[in-house]
Structure 1
Amino acid sequence: MSRARLAAWALAAAALLAGCSDSASGRSPAAAPPPVPVVVGDAVERTVPIQVAAVGNAQAYTSVGIKAQVAGQIVRVHFTEGRDVRAGDLLFTIDPRPVEAALRQAQANVARDTAQLRQAEAALLQQQAEVRKAEANLERDLAQLRNAQAQERRYRELMDRELIAREQYDQLRTNLAAMEATVQADRAAIENAKAAATAAVATVDNVRAVVRAGEAMVDGVRLQLGYTTIRAPLDGRTGNLLVQAGNVVKANEDTPMVVINQVHPIYVSFAVPEQYLADIKRFRAAAPLRVEARLPNQPATLATGELTFVNNAVDQATATIQLKATFANGDDALWPGQFLDVALTLTRRPALLVPSQSIQAGQQGPFVFVVGPDRTVEARRVVVGTRLGAETIVEQGLRAGERIVTDGQLRLVPGAKVEVKPARAS
């Protein structure tokens, strides 16, 4: 209780004791004090939101640190720090000349290896033709050998019957032996040709593998060349630019060159006591839950969003549950890192409301001065609920329509007469 209010109560008690003393002594009572000028308001019943208050902070919906993926010198920065960028916008250009030279070298290597592959494939075709030629020679000579063997059998019969000279038979035998040697040579030629063809196949496979490795090298260098132009991966707002044109950067350095924050939409993260978790889950299952964000100690709502995240565990250290709300933030009212007062609306219900300034603090709890029909005030204890800006919910102690003092309480005591005056213009 404030000193001024204690003084008012003391004056009222002194006045009451003085009246009793005058009655006992037989003196005539003093004149009634003049009415106390006050401003009054009404207790009204209205449907109000049931809210959970918390302190939160705004967080970027997505935050990406931009790093170089190839080493080199930055030749141009294409954006202004702090400005919005769109996904695909060019941010940085790294000197592409070293990578272009490496690409030309890799392409030349592929061209050389491809020429060698063509030569190896031609040699393979030639060896395969040699195999076919040797097989054809063997087939021809086998036919001749079979004919010679049949002729040898006939000549032997004729010789046995002394119808031909032995010299003629011996000549035929010599020719037959030569033919058998030719067939053996043909078989050896086939084996040699097949071995050469197998070696040619291995050569083709090896050169083809070299070509594929070279093509992979070209693809890798071409990818590196693509990394010399760095583009925005998402829509967002750029932060502090940490490099300038002329700086030499390394691939995947720990410190990003710039950070892009997506702020449309934006998160507001906050925590509430775990006792509200059951109600949050119950009401959220029925309908989306509205979340209001305000600047600290400011009654005006800065932005309105929707609860979109409930953490999967209660923080045992603080006995709170972490929540996130998503805000469209089209007007940039919220800024990453900003601290905010948050009001999570669980549901709406009828409630009795009074002006917040009518609630007084007493030794036995909060009370209000109720103005009766005869303009006499009564100090009545009340049970207060949630404060909703300029109004406060009264759970018990008042009825709708009763008039209560909102200004001028310092001079009031129970039973005092009041004079209602109009409220001052705000």
Structure 2
Amino acid sequence: MGNTAAPEETKADSPAIVRIAQAQSGPFDVEIKALGTVTPLASVTVRSRVDGELVRVHFREGQHVAKGQLLAEIDPRPYRANLAQAVGERQQSEAQLTQARRELAQHRTLARDGYTTQTKLDQQQALIGQFSGAVAANDARIADARLQLEFAAIRAPITGRIGLRGIDAGNLVRAGDTAEIATITQMQPISVIFTIPEAQIDAVRAAMQAGALKVKAWDRGERAELAEGRLETIDNRIDPGSGTLRLRGTFSNADEQLFPNQFVNIRLGLQTVANAVTVPAAAVQQGNTGPFVYIVDKAGLARRREIAPGPSDGERMQILRGVVPGERVVLEGFDRVKDGGKVEIVARSAGVPAAK
């Protein structure tokens, strides 16, 4: 009789091909990740407050301007003329008031000698009140004329970066025009508005009571950290539509890596756990009885282990109970892994079924 060939190992008995990672122990930053929008703390639209011809523009588009810096000039000649006229009217009223006071003194002398009536005296006193009112009105017109002349010189109300010019010199502008001369946006410091789910509010408030919280802004692809700041404040109400709360983080932005309306990824640090046991977040699976991981023992067998998970930073998760540092957990290739089954460990993800 011929030799009988040994049966080939069935696919069901072959080891599951997996990739593993080791549980680690060390400092772990408990963070909340969120999406945010860079929002300036101040932004001003510069418009004219008086009517006239825009005769000069003193800024370059995109330059930094300081508060009070001269940006543009409206033709000041009509406002200088109005001021001169108001001053002249005030001098005229002042002269009339001085003359009325002299006449009042004369009437009082005549009244003592019986050469005038009390009615004349009262009329002269009323005339002084009239001229005094005229002087006060002239003072108000002078103040208004000076204010209008001051408005003819348009100055930066805040410090920041000025945008593109909206109106060129030579155009007529009016105080009620909607067209802007330019906009100024404060760049330093700057803020980021982001939202967190309602379920995380208590953790944030508890962390705030312990001290200032760090906020880190990362680029859209989360490849580079753009800036680090601090949590400034939280909003006073939850959005009932989305169940989220808005928060504001502030950044010095000395290098201007953050730009208004830029979308960034936010990492809000709540606390640092000194000796936390962590595993890659992708290793944690959800079962009917709760979260678990597969541990690969020294014999190369997979062991299902129920765990008590802690906070996660998106990449790693703290394990409060169920895993000790140095143990190997299955990271990829869960499809054919079973409790007590053999596994074959590979170094890379090639040929490893995707994690579910």
**TM score, norm. by length of structure 2:** 0.82
Indicate the residue corresponding to 1:398 in structure 2.
323
Is the partner of 2:221 in helix, strand or coil?
Answer: coil
342 and 382 in structure 1: CA distance in 2 versus 1, 3 angstrom threshold:
farther
Q: Please, which of 292, 296, 312 is the counterpart of residue 236 of structure 2?
A: 312
C-alpha contact 2:32 2:313 (8 A) present in aligned 1: no
Q: Distance in 1 between matches of 2:284 and 2:118?
A: 110
In the alignment, is the contact (CA less than 8 A) between 1:110 and 1:215 conserved in 2?
yes
Q: Which moved more, 1:362-371 or 1:221-230?
A: 362-371
Render the CA deviation track for 1:68-112: whole Å, top value 9, x for unaligned: 211111111111122211111111111100111111111111122
| Residue number among 245, 248, 256 corresponding to 2:169 in the alignment | 245
Whether 2:35 is the aligned partner of 1:111: answer: no
Match of 2:23 among 29, 43, 48: 43
Separation (CA, whole Å) in 1 of partners of 2:220 and 2:311? 17
RMSD value, Cα? 3.4
Provide Cα deviations, 1:33-71, integer angstroms capped at 9, x if missing partner.
999998764211122122222211110011122222111
Aligned residue in 2 for 1:5:
none
Paired with 2:226 and 2:219, the residues of 1 have a C-alpha distance of: 7
Q: Is the 8 A contact 1:382 1:395 kept in 2?
A: no
Aligned to 1:325: 249
2:20 and 2:330 in contact (8 A); partners too: yes
Q: Quick one: which of 43, 46, 67 aligns to 1:66?
A: 46
Distance in 1, Cα, partners of 2:314 & 2:201: 24
CA shift for structure 1 position 253: 3.1
1:123 is aligned to 2:103: yes
Which residue in 2 is equivalent to 1:351?
276
Q: Residue 395 of structure 1: CA displacement? A: 5.2
- How far apart, in 2, do the equivalents of 1:400 and 1:91 lie? 64
Checking the alignment, whether the CA contact within 8 Å between 1:128 and 1:194 is kept in structure 2 is no
The SS at the match of 1:305 is strand
2-side partners of 1:420 and 1:208: how far apart? 97
Residue 201, structure 1, aligned to residue 128, structure 2: no
Give the CA deviation at 1:218: 1.1
Q: Deviations over 1:379-414 (max 9, x none)?
A: 646766655465444455532112356689999994
Aligned to 1:281: 205
Q: Distance in 2 between matches of 1:131 and 1:93?
A: 59
Structure-2 residue corresponding to 1:57: 37
Contact 1:109 1:214 in 2 (8 A): yes
**8 A contact 1:67–1:251 mirrored in 2:** yes
Aligned match for 1:373, one of 298, 314, 321: 298
Q: What corresponds to 1:152 in structure 2?
A: none
Q: Is it true that 1:256 corresponds to 2:177 in the alignment?
A: no
User: What stretches of structure 2 of length at least 5 have no aligned partner?
Assistant: 349-356
Matches of 2:104 and 2:62 in 1, distance apart? 64
Q: What corresponds to 1:94 in structure 2?
A: 74
Secondary structure in structure 2 of the residue aligned to 1:346 = strand
C-alpha distance in 2 between matches for 1:199 and 1:331 = 73
Alpha carbons 1:35, 1:418 under 8 Å: kept: no
User: Residues of 1 paired with 2:138 and 2:286: CA distance?
Assistant: 88
Give a deviation string over 1:334-377, Cα, whole Å, max 9, x none.
111111111222222243223567x3879989876655435x25
Q: Give, as a single letter, the amino acid of the residue that structure 1 aligns with 2:143.
A: D
Instruction: State, as a whole percentage, how many aligned pairs show the same letter.
Output: 32
Richer in helix (by share): 1
Letter in 2 for 1:221: A
Provide the secondary structure at the position in 2 that maps to 1:314.
coil
Equivalent position of 2:63 in the other structure:
83
State the 1:229 CA deviation. 0.8
CA displacement at 1:223 relative to structure 2: 0.9
TM-score by length of 1: 0.69
Q: Deviations over 1:102-128 (max 9, x none)?
A: 111111111222222222222222222
Letter in 2 for 1:339: F
